[in-house]
Amino acid sequence: MAKTLADFKLQIGEPVRVEIKAPKGHYMTSLVGVVENSGVFIQAPKNAYGETVLITEGNIITLRLLSNNRIITFASKLLKQYDLPVSYWLLEYPGRIESKQIRSNSRVPVNLMVSVDDFDDMSHRDDLPCSALGVDISLSGCCVQYGQTLGISVTVSI
């Protein structure tokens, strides 16, 4: 069964990468809303100077979103550009949506002080044990910010 955007449970404000062929460019913006089977609304992208990007209505653009551990990609026609009260674009609802699973487990942002130590009691590193900041956690691991490089494929206890 073909997926619709509703199946992905997209959230308003999620980052969207907009890729335009003519004039060639890619921009980051955010999702404003989706009207199922009717249209997609995004904030009008801005260039490096903070100016709203203007393209010809009817151009086909590619959108990429990262949502719920998936990359969602679709092409859509720009139906209308609006400037007031805020700049946004109305896009045609996509006929074909591609998605790819990128993570098996969701990451949950945290702000936790953790202790990093040698995994092996026989190993002796001068820089361990030490304190670090845990910034996210999942069922399969965590991301820890530490002031030094531990190395590649180094196993530690947290």
**Per-residue pLDDT reduced to its tens digit, 48-73:** 898 999 899 999 999 999 887 789 99
Cα separation, 36 vs 5, in Å, equals 7
Cα separation, 33 vs 119, in Å, equals 47
Statement to judge: residues 112 and 36 lie in one domain: no
Instruction: Name the residue range of residue 11's domain.
Output: 5-101
Residue-level pLDDT at 27: 94
Statement to judge: residues 89 and 134 lie in one domain: no
Please say whether the beta carbons of 83 and 64 come within 8 A: no
- Low-confidence stretches of the chain (pLDDT < 70) are 1-2, 152-153
Which pLDDT tens digit goes with each residue over 44-53? 999 889 899 9
Please say whether the beta carbons of 132 and 146 come within 8 A: yes
Statement to judge: residues 24 and 94 lie in one domain: yes
Structure tokens, 119: 């995994």
Please say whether the beta carbons of 34 and 79 come within 8 A: no
Report how many domains make up the chain: 2
Statement to judge: residues 83 and 117 lie in one domain: no
Mark out the alpha helices in 31-140 (DSSP H runs): none
Residue-level pLDDT at 107: 79
What three-state secondary structure class fits 56?
A: coil
Closest-CA residue to 42 (of 81, 3, 7): 81
Statement to judge: residues 88 and 40 lie in one domain: yes
Statement to judge: residues 77 and 50 lie in one domain: yes
